[in-house]
Chains A and B, each alone.
Chain A
Amino acid sequence: MSYSTKKDAKQIITYVVLSIVALIILFPFFWMISTAFKPNTDIIRRPPIFLPTEPTLVHFQRVFAQVQYFRMLYNSLFVAGMTTLITIFFSTMVGYALAKYRVVGLNLIFILILSGLMIPPFTIAIPLYIVATQIRLVNTLWGVIIPFSISNFGIFLMRQYCLGIPQDLISAARIDGASEFTILIRIVFPVVATGCTALGILKFLLTWNDLFWPLIMLTEEANKTLTVLLATFIDFERFVDYGLLMAMTTLVVLPVIFLFVVFQRRIIEGVALTGMKG
């Protein structure tokens, strides 16, 4: 075999291996969608079959009849969207202050915020839940949003971005008489826009998929987010209605997969850069 054919063969094997891994990665999603479209006679068939004999929308119709899907979609969008917007705005503002104002005390605050990165969410959730019950924030969407909307990690990340803003740009604006707030809005935000998008998308995904905090905070039907809705359908004692559950899971997963496909490049860049902590 000549050198180039050997190399070609190696390349082909590499792509075959990568494709097999891709199939393994994607199979559960295929299985989820396939089950969602199967009539119950197909779902309980032994041995299982891969594609529905007669695809049906009956499970999806049952989802829309049994739960307020759009209400919960709205709740999820509201919680994740608001958390994201607040995170972006305040993380950038605080990060900018920590990066560019060399005044006494800010270093200490930066060290405090860094130390906060080590505290696991569990430590925070239980006391805050007790406080939330006392001030009647349980079962409100804002109760879910507020505690985790300004993340120590977001501040840390945006400080790193803001360190890269050329000092001349800020000084020039000051000489032109721009106020500090104008500089923040008109100069800082546009310059660190890449960082804002990376942080924003990651925070959105993490909040969308979060379970523990919304699960304990939202117990009333009308307030639930999509993940909490899914969690209420879990039952280890009785037989699970998998057709319904797979249709529902499909409806919960599709919005984030759509988001991922649209922002794929940005999301992966953001993860490579930040390690996806939110």
Chain B
Amino acid sequence: MEARMSIGKKFIHDISHPILRWGYIFVIPGLLSYLLFTFYPTIRSLIQSLHLIRGAGNPWVFNGINNYLDIFKDKIFWGSLKNTFYYVALTIPLGTIISLILAVVLNSIVKARGFFRALYFIPSVAGVIAVGIVFSWMYEPYLGVLNLLLSKLGFPRLNWLRDLKMAMPSIAVMNIWQTLGYNVVIFLAGLLAIPAELYEAADIDGAKPLRKLLSITIPLVAPSMWFVIINNTIRNLQVFSEIFVMTGGGPGHATTTVGFRVYQYAFLYLSFGKASANVMVLLLIILAVTLMQLRFFERRTQVEF
């Protein structure tokens, strides 16, 4: 009985203890899955990036850092890097601001709040492929509904996805539209957690709505905001499906992102070594963003507690 009661209070080193052994047994699938499907592929990606691999079944030839040198010499690679950051810059600030405003408005009403929140969330469950196909149809230059709206409002028609300058913003608009409901849900959860007393106290002090927004709402919703920004940034840095469905990287290479380049190298040019070199570049960028996130949370906790 003594040994049983001690579980949960201190570490027990006796692995053969009949109850504690189960801790190791239960954790096996997690460890195996981590080793097989996270650790091993990540190391293998690095090793692959140092080899020439023509097609999935063929032998590897050691190539040193030449895959990296080759992609660094490639204009399309730098273009894809630029396009990826451009996509993030187009989607994250605007998407965050619009959804924050919507969440603040939703927070100010009582009736039908859940109804609107659910409606706004529908695009998030519909999936990028389906939604991308529908947007491609709406963006269609001759028969699409968006050009009809533009011409009715007296604006010139646009070529949307087929225009060098418009293609990326058009995809970004869809992404903002699609992730709006997701962001609103996160923000609303943050807003609902703000104690009502703070606003009451501000009312007593005669604070104006804008003042309350800047002094209470924004600072207290900041953790949700950081979560949304970092989470969406990491996801949008990996953008692939939107590009695959809506433009195939074109026109020219105007919407070729790093994620799409990985797919092109691996499955169109069957050059798995260079695909892996692209993957490693993407991995480094994402790790950098994640470290920024960790540093931010460290600083926050130091300030707050």
Contact = CB atoms under 8 A, between A and B. Distances in A.
B75 interface: no
Q: Interface range on chain B: under 10, 10 to 19, 20 to 34, or 35 or more?
A: 35 or more
B181 interface: yes
A256 interface: yes
A147 B48 CA distance: 19
A155 B238 CA distance: 23
Interface stretch (A56-64, A65-73, A116-124, A192-200): A116-124
A153 to B, nearest CB: 11
A146 B32 CA distance: 12
A259 B126 CA distance: 11
Nearest to A276: B182
Most buried by B among A122, A253, A272: A122
Contacts, number: 288
B180 interface: yes
A166 to B, nearest CB: 11
B54 to A, nearest CB: 12
Contacts of B276: 126-127
A53 interface: no
A94 B240 contact: no
B30 A155 contact: yes
B26 A96 contact: yes
A96 B248 CA distance: 44
Chain A, interface size: which category? 35 or more
A179 to B, nearest CB: 8
A184 B244 CA distance: 43
B127 A227 contact: yes
Interface string B191-231: 00000000000000000000000000000000000010001
Interface string A236-249: 10001010011001
B164 to A, nearest CB: 15
A120 B34 contact: no
A149 B34 CA distance: 11
A113 interface: yes
A264 B188 CA distance: 16
A21 B27 contact: no
Q: Which residue, B26, B48, B123, B259, has most C-beta atoms of chain A within 10 A?
A: B26
Contact of B148 (A26, A47, A245): A47
A216 interface: yes
Contact of A128 (B37, B118, B127): B37
Contact of A253 (B13, B19, B127, B290): B127
B151 A47 contact: yes
B26 A184 contact: yes
B185 A268 contact: yes
A150 to B, nearest CB: 4
Nearest to B22: A180
Interface string B224-256: 000100010010001011001101101000000
A208 interface: yes
Interface of B: 1, 4-5, 7-13, 15, 19-20, 22-24, 26-27, 29-31, 33-34, 36-42, 44-45, 48, 53, 56-57, 102, 105-106, 108-109, 112, 114, 116-131, 133-138, 140, 142-145, 148, 151, 177, 180-182, 185-186, 188-189, 227, 231, 234, 238, 240-241, 244-245, 247-248, 250, 259, 262-263, 266-267, 272, 275-276, 279-280, 282-283, 286-287, 290
Q: Which 4 A-B residue pairings sit nearest by Cβ, starting from the closest?
A: A101-B23, A209-B127, A94-B30, A97-B26
